[in-house]
Structure 1
Amino acid sequence: MYTKKWKEVTIYSTLVLLSLLMAFPYLWMLMISVKPKDELYSGNILPSTFQFENYVRVFTESNMGQYLWNSIFVSAVIIIVQILSAIFAAYSFVAIKKKWVQFCFVLILATYMLPSAVTYIPSFILISNMNLLDTHLGYILSEAISIFAIFFLRQSFSKVPKEVVQAAKLDGAGHLRLIFTVYIPYTKSAIASLILITFIYSYNNYMWPSLLMKSEENMLVTIGMRRLFMTQAGYGMDFPFAMAASAISLLPMLLLLIIFNKRIIRSMSNLYVNK
């Protein structure tokens, strides 16, 4: 009993220490964002006075509001398109047992091993020929299919009890009814996890959007943040302002994590426990 108690104390102490180490950069960012500029290199973690007006300046002296809206809107549309396409593709790979269908699944997975940079040039040429450069629609179309989402949902769909599927078929359920009344309800936690993963990827994506978006009104938050750092934080001119903008840019992902926290944990537990 005594040994077990000390083992738990050691495990939880280690987890707390690791959590603090991971959280320290974000805490440092928050402290810098409310510091006066003349205290940046003072060596003190806490500022003498908290200057929260930096957060107001982010929206009054830059286009941060437009950047946030663009990223949230584009990411939301990409989530809808990717999840829907992944649901139908994953259902096909689970429900159809023919060899050529399984071969297509292996072929799709093989393309996942290609570096994303390899697809930039052909995708850019294709979007250019469609006259969709510097548009949100062009970027959304280029991100409409996710190999990871298809694989993730295919693995989750394969965990749905076959007895339930057979019972629904005996009740006269067709493919669409099976998808929306059996597979989706049984994999809600996995879909919630996928929503968060897709949002984080799309929201943080920089390289590919920077090749497509050139106009100020269409820029995503990652491109806008780089421009803001170059203009405001270069050579330490206004580092608290840039840190305040960075903290604001994290809010959408933090809110999604809070909303889907329990479902993500449940999804990951099922994925590994039932393996």
Structure 2
Amino acid sequence: MYLARLKKGISYAALTAIGIIMVFPYLWMFMTSVKAKDKLYSGGIFPDTFHFENYIRVFTDTKMLLYLWNSIYVSVIIIVFQILSAILAAYVFATMKKKWVQLCFVVILATYMLPSAVTYIPSFIIISKVNLLDTHLGYILSEAISIFAIFFLRQTFIQVPKEVVHAAKLDGAGHLKLIFTVYIPYAKNAIASLVLITFIYSYNNYMWPSLLIKSEENMFVTIGLRRLFMSQAGYGMDFPLAMAACAISLLPMFILLAVSNKKIINSMANLYVNK
């Protein structure tokens, strides 16, 4: 009994220590964002006076609101494309047992092993030939299909009970009805996980968008933050403003994580149990 309590206490202490280590960078970022410029190197994490006007200046002195809007709405469109295409492809690969279908799945999965940088040049050439450089549409089309999403949903779809599928077929359900009444409800937690993963990836993507997007009105938050750091945070000119912009840029991801947290945990638990 005593040994069990000791192990539990050590586990809680270790988790608390890890949590503090993980939270500290965000705490430092927030505390820096509410400091005055002349107090930045005064020492200590906590400021003498909280300058929340730095957050107001992010929207009045920069184009952060435009960058946020571009990143959010483009990420939402990409999520819709990736989830729909992944559901249809995963259904085919999970239900059709023909050799050529499974061979296609292996070939598609093999392309996931390629480094993303390898695809930059051919993708850039294709997008330039259709005159979609420096447009949101060009970036959306280049990210419309996710091999990871297809694989993730396929692994979830193959765990759907065969009895449920057979009963639905006896009721006259076709492929579309099976997808929307059996497979999607069964995989709702996995789909919620994919929504979060896709949003985080698209929202934080920097290298590929920086090659495509050049005009300021089309820039995403990652490119905008880099420009802000180059113009304002260089040599400590206005580092609190840059930190305030970083803190604001994290809000959409924190909100989405808070909303879908339980579904993500359930999805991962189901995959582990059924593994």
Please give the TM-score of this superposition, normalised by the length of structure 2.
Answer: 0.99
Residue of structure 2 equivalent to 1:14: 14
Residue of structure 2 equivalent to 1:141: 141
- Is residue 56 from structure 1 mapped to residue 52 from structure 2 by the alignment? no
Distance 2:58 2:45 in 1: 22
Please give the TM-score of this superposition, normalised by the length of structure 1.
Answer: 0.99
Distance 1:264 1:63 in 2: 33
Distance 1:200 1:85 in 2: 19
Distance 1:4 1:41 in 2: 47
Distance 2:34 2:158 in 1: 50
- Is residue 35 from structure 1 mapped to residue 30 from structure 2 by the alignment? no
- Is residue 224 from structure 1 mapped to residue 224 from structure 2 by the alignment? yes
**Counterpart residue type for residue 206 of structure 2:** Y
- Is residue 236 from structure 1 mapped to residue 232 from structure 2 by the alignment? no
**What 5-or-longer segments of structure 1 have no aligned partner?**
none
Measured against aligned partners, the alpha-carbon deviations of 1:21-47 in whole angstroms (never above 9, x if no partner) come to 011001000000001112211221110
Distance 1:144 1:214 in 2: 21
User: 1:158: Cα distance to partner?
Assistant: 0.9
Residue of structure 2 equivalent to 1:249: 249
SS in 2 for 1:132: coil
**Counterpart residue type for residue 31 of structure 2:** M
Measured against aligned partners, the alpha-carbon deviations of 1:59-88 in whole angstroms (never above 9, x if no partner) come to 000100000000000000000000000000
Residue of structure 1 equivalent to 2:128: 128
Distance 1:211 1:37 in 2: 33
SS in 2 for 1:233: helix
Residue of structure 2 equivalent to 1:5: 5
Distance 1:271 1:24 in 2: 31
**Counterpart residue type for residue 82 of structure 1:** Q
Question: Which range moves more in the overlay, 198-207 or 36-45?
Answer: 36-45
**Counterpart residue type for residue 224 of structure 1:** G
User: 1:12: Cα distance to partner?
Assistant: 1.0
**What 5-or-longer segments of structure 2 have no aligned partner?**
none
SS in 2 for 1:145: coil
User: 1:273: Cα distance to partner?
Assistant: 1.4
- Is residue 210 from structure 1 mapped to residue 210 from structure 2 by the alignment? yes
**Counterpart residue type for residue 222 of structure 2:** T
Question: Which range moves more in the overlay, 39-48 or 239-248?
Answer: 39-48
Distance 1:11 1:162 in 2: 40
SS in 1 for 2:200: helix
Measured against aligned partners, the alpha-carbon deviations of 1:136-183 in whole angstroms (never above 9, x if no partner) come to 000000001100000000001111111101100111000000000000
Distance 2:59 2:42 in 1: 28
**Number of residues of Structure 1 aligned to a counterpart in Structure 2:** 275
| CA-based RMSD | 0.5
**Counterpart residue type for residue 64 of structure 1:** M
Identity %: 75
